[in-house]
A = this chain, B = another copy of it.
């Protein structure tokens, strides 16, 4: 029986292929198989990693659906496929947008792969890339900061009372509410969409998108206006 392959989780950063680490590029160039998660359309992670890959790529479907039973079946099938690939002795890299340890599909896969050797390579987060792009710090000195995927208004309102520096993710779900709550709490904010990609947008006037919505890959960096 073959020795099982090693499983790598690789953060490829938010969009610009040059924001991948040397280590990630090096591992991508030497593994036997790359798995790119795709949610119904072409994998952005794969587009970023493509220049560094020298092997077969499997695009694995992780659809965004709400039916839990159906979702579980798909996940089980995907994990089984990965186990089979590893058992055949293939070193295998699972690529993931941004960083693998922050809001990533990879950690769910990893938790189901007990017994296999696994190494995770960190990636540039979308919020770090966005802050660099606009030359505005996320946080300085001894201040804490919070990262919030905005689900409900209440948690956002509470967090803006307690923190002067926040990063808001997944804001496409209730963009108008987010803008309103930021204003009511005296926050300055910048909207960044598709950071590092060809269609990147940076917008200091958040009102511009009210009633029109923003892309799923949008985030806001915000800070309390102390003037």
Q: Which residues of A contact B (CB under 8 A)?
A: 9, 11, 13, 16-23, 25-26, 99-104, 107-108, 110, 118, 120-125, 128-129, 131-133, 135-149, 151, 155, 158-159, 162-163, 170
Contacts and interface: CB of A to CB of B under 8 A. Distances in A.
Nearest to A141: B103
A13 B21 contact: yes
Contacts of A146: 144-147, 163
Given A18-B23, A19-B22, A22-B25, 17 more contacts: A17-B22, A18-B21, A18-B26, A19-B23, A101-B138, A102-B145, A103-B139, A108-B140, A121-B132, A122-B125, A122-B129, A125-B128, A142-B149, A144-B146, A144-B149, A146-B146, A162-B162
Contacts of A151: 142
